[in-house]
Amino acid sequence: MWNTDSLWFEIAVVSIIYALGNILMGHFEERTPKIRRVGKYLLTLLIVCSISYCFGRVASMSFLAIFIIPLLYVHAYYLPKKKGINGWTGEPKSKYYDFRKWDKDIFSK
């Protein structure tokens, strides 16, 4: 009944990661253009499926797992130590908005 020997498994895994990411962390991307967010998802999906097709599922899932390393570096070291921003809450907002080069005056438009 259940068959995971197709690329649909990789599509499901990437889609779940992005869905959870948007639900739990989407408020940090509030000013990112939607087309960029969709493009990032499609590019990730294309890369993961291509790796799986060419090198196998273990390689594609390893590729996804390796992204934990830069995530931890940015959120646990770079943002707090170098930029003075809490890596998990994005506070203070003014520094986070400066870091992202977003306009802090959200009510001007």
Q: What percent of the chain has pLDDT over 90?
A: 61
pLDDT band at 54 (very low <50, low <70, confident <90, very high): very high
Single pTM value for the model: 0.82
- The predicted structure's pLDDT at residue 93: 87
Query: For residue range 2-53, what is the model confidence (pLDDT) as tens digits?
Result: 777 889 999 999 999 999 988 888 888 888 999 999 999 999 999 999 999 9
pLDDT band at 87 (very low <50, low <70, confident <90, very high): confident
DSSP for 50-89 reads HHHHHH-HHHHHHHHHHTHHHHHHIIIIIIIIII---TTT
Q: Which helix (H) or strand (E) holds 88?
A: none
